[in-house]
Structure 1
Amino acid sequence: MGLHTRIDSAVERAIALGQGGAAPARLASALHYACTPGGARIRPTILVSVAMACGDDRPGLADAAAAALELIHCASLVHDDLPCFDDAEIRRGKPAVHRAYSQPLAVLAGDSLIILAFDVLARAAHAAPERAIELIRLLARQTGMPHGICAGQGWESEDKIDLGAYHRSKTGALFIAATQMGAVAAGQEAEPWYELGARIGEAFQVADDLRDALCSQEELGKPAGQDDLHGRPNAVSLLGVDGAVKRLKDILGGAIASIPSCPGEAQLAQMVTAYADRLTPAAVKARV
């Protein structure tokens, strides 16, 4: 089974769990709609890649962790797109959940996906209880307050923004979760994997800032120019396009150098390099 098939299958199983029984049909449908098509599945791909690099001796637990992480990510997109936040009509090339199903169902879908993520991890705990408890703790830390993605959204309501804390929470948190949860699922310590996740998350944020400034809505599959429209702090406004491109290259170089020693270290370096190539839009590659 290929890596992407493995991840998609794990996500589909998780969604089916949330749709079981005599569930309200439209909300059940919204759960699936919010998570498909899957896009790049970057975060769970990193998680499973780290688990594989560390031996992947509990693949069922790694699959549950990957699915849980992707459910949290998809929930955050549903909530981000709401009129009270980004007011985005398009996500992944189709109407945002609140446009397709209504605002109340979008709120409920996002909430349900968050709860489902922790249910998925709890159900997989029998494979390795101590690891599962740590996975739940790591995911909770990078989802909520004070440093998770909820905090990242919260920074946008502050008069003064700590840019480093904002980016670390808004974007970096789930990448940190990806590397640390992948290691823990395979029986390794979480802490050595923090830096890799943080650097990948920072690279993603800078690349996203570049894409938002340089790409069209058709290329992105979502509205473009949102940073400028909403007055958000971003790498392009701070450093200029060329400065942001240089920053992206420096971060990715540091990410590869920060990979902890493990049996699959070389393969992980290749994954980060391939990920960087996919992350970088053509308009940016032309400047490199």
Structure 2
Amino acid sequence: MLTRTTSTPTPAPAPARAGRVQAPLVSRLGVLLVMAICTVYFLAPLWWLFVGATKQQGQFVGGSPMWFENFQPAGNIRELLTYRDGIFLRWVVNSIGYTVGAAALGTLVAGMCGYALAKYRFPGRELLFNVVLGGVLVPATALALPLFLMFSKVHAANTFWSVFLPSIVNPFGVYLARIYATASVPEDLLEAARIDGSGEIRTFFTVSARLMLPAFVTVFLFHFVAVWNNFLLPLIMLGNEKLFPVTLGLYTWNSQVDQRPELRGLVLVGAFVSLVPMILAFLFLQRFWRGGLGTGALK
């Protein structure tokens, strides 16, 4: 005689599943909270600078530091650009000359050096690369005084070239270019270009440079920001204020605030205006950056 066995249904592990679902939710909320705190931390000074750049002279100290009181950015910018026959505008032009030229040439030199270290085998290659890595570790402050003495011996101090030429050198760009060239430029593609009769320089500019475009953009952005914010080298090299970059010019104004209180507003407005070129450079170049990262992900 057959007997029917009845099995009691096992309850579904609802609490464990709920715990597994709840844990990622808590971790996401934690990550979002940390990102929100970091965002506020980084944007709060920029907001304070923007608010301060729109105030009148007597409202910088006594008014609310984080909110508008008398919104007049156009008048403050006009006063900044016309002060002392537009000396601030000359400083901005100097900074653009130092930065764009040095960043462009520095990116090209760093890219070619990194490409050569990655794709060519020659005696002393690793030793040379180690020297470049050593240059990354040396702070710029340690090189400012020796550079001043060198340019003084050739009577080139207090000139445009005393700031421009040292700014071209970028050891970190060489390191980054070598790493990216090793990973993104296939040897077979270079051999095919050589078989077709392409020279090394032509192969670099027509084949390798296109593959290394994200690295070039990254090096250019880092180099642009570093040269634009450079302060110590112009401070040591330059004595003529007509050659000052915007960072050194604003520093000289800020050092005179106690004797000339009207400069406080000009320093705030000038600091805010000096951020515009870096923001524009990033907004213009980020599409090449993101496009290169997406291409690398597909590979």
Global fold match (TM > 0.5): no
The structure having more radius of gyration, on CA atoms, is 2
Higher relative contact order (CA 8 A, sep 6+): 2
The two structures have a TM-score, normalised by structure 1, of 0.29
The two structures have a TM-score, normalised by structure 2, of 0.28
